[in-house]
Amino acid sequence: MLSLAERIILLLLVLATAVVFFIPVLKRLWIIISCQYENRFDSLFRRFFNALFRVILQLCTLKDERPWTGLAHVLIFYGALAFYVTIVNHVIEGYVDGFYLFGSSLLGLIFSAVVDLFAITVLVGDFFFAFKRFVFKPRAYNTSARDSALIDIFIFLTVITYLYYEAAAVASHPGDARWAWLGQFLAAKLGLMSLSASALALHLKISYWLHTLAVFSFIAYVPHSKYFHLFAGPVNLFFRKLQPSGFIKPINLETAEIFGAEKATDFTWKDALDSFACVECGRCQDVCPAFLSGKALSPKMVIYNLERHLLSSFPAIWKKKAEELTLLVPEVFKEEEIWACTTCGACLHVCPFDIEHPTKLIELRQNLVLAQGKIPAELRGFFHNLETQSNPWGLAASGRSDWAKDLKVKTLSEALQAEYLLWVGCFGSFDEQGRKIARAMVEVLQAAGVDFAILGNEEKCCGDSVRRLGNEYLFQNLAQENLKTLAKYRVKNIITFCPHGYNTLKNEYPSLIELLGVFSDEEKEFLKSIRVISHIEFLAGLLREKRIPLNKVISKTYTYHDACYYGRHNGLFDEPREVLKEAVSGKFRELKNSREHSFCCGAGGGLMWLEEKPGQRVNHLRAEEIIKSRMQMVATSCPFCLTMLQDGLRDKGQDSIEVLDVAQLLAAALNKSRESCI
């Protein structure tokens, strides 16, 4: 179909497009490999099949936060896959007249019909996104308007020029039309069938080159745009975190040359890949409690600004001159946004490509705390209290077991063979409301005949908050002392009633056992075998085994607030609802934001110990949702959440709405008088 000169031009166009495409791709690859190493090469088959199914089935975008947007993306995605095949065919056809990849096979006939169908679906999806962005203008789409417009135009031109070429080809060679129903329809409607052979040949030539130019211009533009997520996104899914989403990797304090992230290349290569995989959809921003409450933090802008900073820093990264890189704080990120994250994981959960926003903020906190000593004033006292008394309030460590003096609870030093250790935590030991939960747990466990004990004054803070506030050194000190105690008593099973302690003991302590270098091989093996179970799992198990006699005394309309570190981070959604169904006779109704979409109480990420600055308080937003639901009672399973919700409801003048832990409600169902437990 093409002359020799045209074939040479086409070859040069393909080569030029490849160069223009791969130069920015190689630039990004260089940036990625210049960042800190992190091992994400474990479980390769699991990673491969997870990424494959998430992409091919479009599970990454078909989430219920934006169902119509997800559907529109599906319409474009499958159409794009089909058009990739037609592009290959289109180029070869320029050199081999009448070439068709599938020949005269049935697959070829079906493919010709499917491509025409996808041409329509792609246009529908393209118009949907253009209309949503430029007419409705949602706040989540507050970046890259020009880039989005160009992408919409390129997609439109690619499809329209293809249909023009197909119609001209059908008119020129009706016998090769196959099942291209749309091409045949357009050829007839445009009057191409009635044109002379020379006129048809001209249309065919013009349409061929128009489609070629549209396609290769788009390909050349892709790595310069957010559309690059089409390639980086699936790779990012392949290297996704396999641990629970609340897991933080430890720092080897003995060998580390860098603490956290001070400059661009201090981030890990996965952090850099995250930034290049971002599609700027703003889903993360839509669910971020810090952003929604008017704080400086937008998880979307964290990733957006990181990407632009990495690209602008390429000259220094290329020359490996770290001294030429600017400080991340305050040049790229402001301190107020770094300290606003509750690490609730809502952003990560809704992200189509599992971008890990909280990790980057924690790395920035680590550098501020460990390397620069830039700590919010209120945290200085908090860290000091934990260093000296192993609890946030600085209360005498010797009073950690005072709450249990009248309960006939043994310590492990008194009951060495106890089957379970009840991990009480700082709230259960010192906070008034936390102590009520601890007492309720004791009452239920005793009623069920569970063989358990506590550590008493030998227990120390698990370190969840200090780790998320960036003080890895203090965290590891606390963890080491706790692990030594667990090894000393040969603890086999731990029950927690704090999601933060649960996540830390279950998911994060095991990664320290080898790193700390203070345990014998026998101790290491033993510590790795410890089973950590949440109180909601354990209580649900007791009820299934019929080990708890119940006498329901509470009959109120109630709801359940999912704690981030039990629910979203560790997948414990059904267990608390099972317990509540057995313990409470009132009517249950879910909140608007529940289960994996639960709205954070505002205390996570160590923010329980920081003054909440500008905007609304996060717990007020959650309290308002509870008030609107017209519930008489709220159940939760976290002492942090319980405190924040009580405070929020009281601030809103609705302290008549009770907030109780699942354990308290179950303990109340054991007794004739509910006041004995709550």
Domains of the chain: 4-238 (1.20.950), 264-374 (1.10.1060.10), 395-539 (no CATH), 550-676 (3.40.50)
Question: Residue 266 corresponds to which amino acid?
Answer: D
- pTM of this structure: 0.92
φ/ψ of 422, rounded to 5, equals -90, 110
538 backbone dihedrals φ, ψ, rounded to 5°: -65, -45
Query: Residue 286: its pLDDT value, please?
Result: 94
Q: Can you tell me the distance from the alpha carbon of 461 to that of 608, in angstroms, rounded to the nearest whole number?
A: 15
Residue count of the chain: 678
Contact, 259 vs 367, CB < 8 A?
Answer: yes
Neighbouring CB atoms inside 10 A of 354's CB total 21
SS3 of 451, please?
coil
Contacts of residue 542, Cβ cutoff 8 Å, sequence gap at least 6: 444, 448, 450, 548
pLDDT (0 to 100) of residue 243: 93
Identify the pLDDT of residue 673.
Answer: 47
Q: What is the mean pLDDT of each run of 10 residues along the chain (678 residues)?
A: 89 95 96 95 94 86 78 88 89 87 87 92 93 90 91 95 93 86 90 87 92 95 92 95 94 92 96 96 94 95 97 94 93 95 95 95 96 92 95 94 92 93 96 96 95 96 96 97 96 97 97 94 95 97 92 87 97 96 92 95 94 89 95 96 96 94 94 55
What DSSP line would sit under 219-237, residue for residue? HHHGGGSGGGHHHHHHHHH
CA distances from 78 to 72, 114, 155, 402 (A): 10, 10, 13, 63
Q: 549: closest CA among 670, 450, 674, 672?
A: 670
**Taking the mean position of all CA atoms in its chain, how far away is CA 491?**
33
pLDDT tens profile 615-659: 899 999 999 999 999 999 999 999 999 999 999 999 999 989 999
- Sign for the CA dihedral angle at 174, 176, 180, 183 comes to negative
In angstroms, the CA 469 to CA 302 distance is 18
Angle between helical axes of 269-277 and 229-238 (0-180°, round to 10): 140
Distance from C-alpha of 196 to C-alpha of 199, rounded to nearest angstrom:
5
| DSSP character string of 280-315 | ---HHHHH-HHHHTT-S--HHHHHHHHHHHHHHTHH
SS3 289: helix
Cβ-Cβ contacts under 8 Å for 643 (sequence gap 6 or more): 427, 431, 433, 603, 608
Distance from the Cα of residue 597 to its chain's centroid: 12
* CA atoms of 26 and 28, how far apart (whole Å): 5
